[in-house]
Amino acid sequence: LQVLGFEVDTVNSVQFSNHTGYAHWKGQVLNSDELHELYEGLKLNKVNQYDYVLTGYTRDTSFLAMVVDIVQELKQQNPNLVYVCDPVMGDKWNGEGSMYVPKDLLPVYRDKVVPVADIITPNQFEAELLTGRKIYTEKDALEVMDMLHAMGPETVVITSSDLQAPLGNDYLIALGSHRKTKADGTRITQRIRMESPKVDAVFVGTGDLFAAMLLAWTHKHPNNLKVACEKTVSAMQHVLQRTIKSAKVQAGEGNKPNSAQLELRMVQSKKDIENPEIIVKATVL
């Protein structure tokens, strides 16, 4: 976000030695009282003036509930504030979904967080959890996105799925939907599909990167989800391709890269994040 020109006040929902893709990690989880204390400091200095709020990984229900309170207060101050929520709960491996946060986060996300969000970026598994509906086809996915729109957010992007891609099995499908209500009350919905080449590795932090870049590109292209997603997904591809290429060199021929070698090459990809060459085109549905 800073590379793309945003002033950012960062609150670490967790302070870990490393991400949880490693065998071991140590650190602390921020609770709601500690978040409230930080926010009070911002308020006392009258610097709690924001255009966007972006949230991602957390493991604490009270923390999430406090986020909702803060977002609602900030929206009272600035009705144009946009809340971007990456509802990090789990993912699918080999077709099976599993949660990697406590299960009691789901009702908080579903009933409290998503209704105040403007943009959400779930993966397929998280979209299924939030709606209670399984996705087997693209039609299912579009209906699930409609259900998520009905819960509150104007923009829904399913960042990854195991749907069959028209380009073939070597591609991963992401879907986006932007619903806008015109002044006369009528609704316009723009829907898109993106097909990205699959990369045979497990990366950690891709969801965080996706949500941050989508925030930036929707800010720069507020009524054009197609362009915003093309820039976001193309930049993601540049980062992932650079990461896997470098990781394979570090691991050596015939060896599988480890977690440390698969750390996203963010700094090395600065130019691609700032001005991505469009290598993934979106199809308007």
Taking residues 62-68, report their average pLDDT. Answer: 95
Residues that are catalytic:
208
The pLDDT mean for the chain works out to 95
Strand order in the sheet with 155-161: 52-55, 82-85, 119-120, 155-161, 171-181, 187-197, 282-284
The predicted structure's pLDDT at residue 220 = 96
Taking residues 47-61, report their average pLDDT. Answer: 94
What digits encode the pLDDT tens for the residues 153-198?
999 999 999 999 999 999 999 999 999 888 888 889 999 999 999 9
User: Do residues 119 and 85 make contact, with C-beta atoms less than 8 angstroms apart?
Assistant: yes
What digits encode the pLDDT tens for the residues 224-250?
999 999 999 999 999 999 999 999 999
User: Do residues 85 and 215 make contact, with C-beta atoms less than 8 angstroms apart?
Assistant: no
Q: How many residues does the chain have?
A: 285
At residue 211, φ and ψ (nearest 5 deg) are -60, -40
The predicted structure's pLDDT at residue 36 = 97
The predicted structure's pLDDT at residue 100 = 86
Q: How many CA atoms lie within 13 A of 166 on its CB side?
A: 7
Taking residues 122-128, report their average pLDDT. Answer: 97
pLDDT at 94 over 80: no
User: Do residues 177 and 142 make contact, with C-beta atoms less than 8 angstroms apart?
Assistant: yes
The predicted structure's pLDDT at residue 96 = 81
Domains and CATH numbers, the chain: 16-284 (3.40.1190.20)
Ramachandran sector of residue 46 (left: φ over 0; alpha: ψ -120 to 50; beta: rest):
left
The predicted structure's pLDDT at residue 59 = 86
Ramachandran sector of residue 64 (left: φ over 0; alpha: ψ -120 to 50; beta: rest):
alpha
The SS3 call for residue 251 is: helix
Residues whose CB is less than 8 angstroms from the CB of residue 210 and which lie 6 or more positions away in sequence, other chains included: 86, 121, 159, 232, 233, 236
Return the higher-pLDDT residue of 95 and 4: 4
Q: How many CA atoms lie within 13 A of 165 on its CB side?
A: 20
CA distance 2 to 64: 24
CA distances to 6, 34, 91, 212, 251 from 126, in Å: 28, 27, 7, 18, 32
